[in-house]
Amino acid sequence: MSNIIIPKSLNPSPDIKKGIDEFLADFDVYEIASGSKLVLNYDEKSDAYYLTCHLKGKQIVESCDLEATLDPDDDDDVLYKLNREIIEDQLAYKEMENDAKNGRSFEDLVVEYDKSYRPDQPLKVYGGQHRIRAISISEKKLDIVNHGVRLYFNLSRDQKVEIATVNNTSIAVPNDLLDRMRE
């Protein structure tokens, strides 16, 4: 925990601290490798602790679980998947792939560090699955480009639902507005 700044107003549980220690032992965090520290953040609305940091694309692709579920103990028939379906045939996604191939650094990939199921993929994705898929095809850039991650720890079922819902709610953007933005 020597690489983490915990504001005096916060009092994370031992489970949160343990998760942070495990994460730092498993991952090469850009900020820490650069001599900085991370600040533990607290989301009052969801009552959840998180870190923001940057990881190489390769670590993200190898460690992310795009099939994160609300309750891994449920039958496969009733699993509540915490992500939208990935739609790869949209123009915006194709542009995202091209951006990734050209070294774009994506931000605010929303994950929970959770080894309780599929421990080889401890980053359970709650937001950013399209960006992660795009990163995965940027083979030449995987070891070069860092991407921003908002990393939660020890979430309850209700917290998972809220965070996944917030991060997978789309606002419809009219095509004419998209056209004007592209101009």
What mean pLDDT value characterizes the chain?
85
Greatest mean pLDDT range, 28-37, 67-76, 159-168: 28-37
Average pLDDT over residues 45-55: 97
Please tell me which residue, 96 or 83, carries the higher pLDDT value.
96
Give the pairing of strands 109-113 and 123-127. antiparallel
Contact 113, 125 (CB under 8 A): no
Q: What is the pLDDT of residue 142?
A: 83
Q: pLDDT band for position 181 (50/70/90)?
A: very low
Rounded Cα distance, 127 and 68, in Å: 10
Rounded Cα distance, 64 and 120, in Å: 9
Residue 68 has pLDDT above 60, yes or no: yes
Q: pLDDT band for position 86 (50/70/90)?
A: low
